Amino acid sequence: MTSEPVKVGSVPRARSRAVLTHVGGLHARPSIKLTQLAKRFDAAVWIAVAEHGPWTDAKSIARVMAMKTPHMATLYFMAEGEGADDATGALARLVESDFPDDNVNGQ
């Protein structure tokens, strides 16, 4: 976990949020999908269960699972770097659409 990342120069930064409607919470399958999606972006991506953190690396399955996020928690995303906007948007959509697609490889 990190404290609020410091904004450096004109690096793009974006935020989003979504309610975790997935029954059971952020279990293995949704966590895998979430981290796989986060890893597709060059930007650094963080996740939190409160608006001001603490922030967790959204690309680490170990860290994301260790949050043990329960059903109906609000998830906050923050990204910094190339494609930050796309990353936070895509992650929020993934959560809002309840982690569609049965393939856990996300392919």
Partner 1 sequence: MDSKTAAVVCLRGTPVSPGLARGPLVVLTDEAHGPAHKRGSAAEESTRLRAAIATASAELAELMERDGEAEAQTILAFQVAMLADPVVTEPALAAITAGAAAEQAWLTAMDSQIREYHEADDLYFRARASDLRDMRDRVLRGLAAVAAAPIAPGSIVVASDLPPSRFLEITWDGGGVALTQGSPNSHVAMLARSRGVPMLVGVEQADLRGHTEALIDTDNAVLVASPDGRLAIDFASRQQRAEIVRAEAERYVGVPALTLNGEQVQVLINVADGRELEQIDPACCDGVGLVRTELILHAAADLADEEKQFQSYSRILRWAGGRPVIIRTLDAGGDKPIAGHTVDGEANPFLGIRGLRLSLLHPQVLTTQLRALARAASLGPLKVMVPMVTSPRELDRVRVLRDSAVAALRREGLECATPELGMMVEVPAAALAIDLFDADFLSIGSNDLIQYVTATSRDSSALATLQDPLQPAVLRLIHEVVAHADAHGIPVSLCGDMASDVRCIPALLDVGLRCLSVAPTALARVKGAVARHRTAKPKGGRLA
CA distances from 57 to 45, 60, 63, 107 (A): 6, 6, 7, 22
> With binding defined as CB under 8 A, does residue 22 bind partner 1?
no
The tokens for 74 are: 């609000």
The tokens for 67 are: 């949050």
> With binding defined as CB under 8 A, does residue 10 bind partner 1?
no
* Window 88 to 107, contacts with partner 1 (CB under 8 A): 102-105
> With binding defined as CB under 8 A, does residue 61 bind partner 1?
yes
State the DSSP code for 18.
Answer: E
Residues forming the site for partner 1 (CB under 8 A)? 24-25, 27-29, 31-32, 35-36, 57, 60-63, 65-66, 68, 70, 102-105
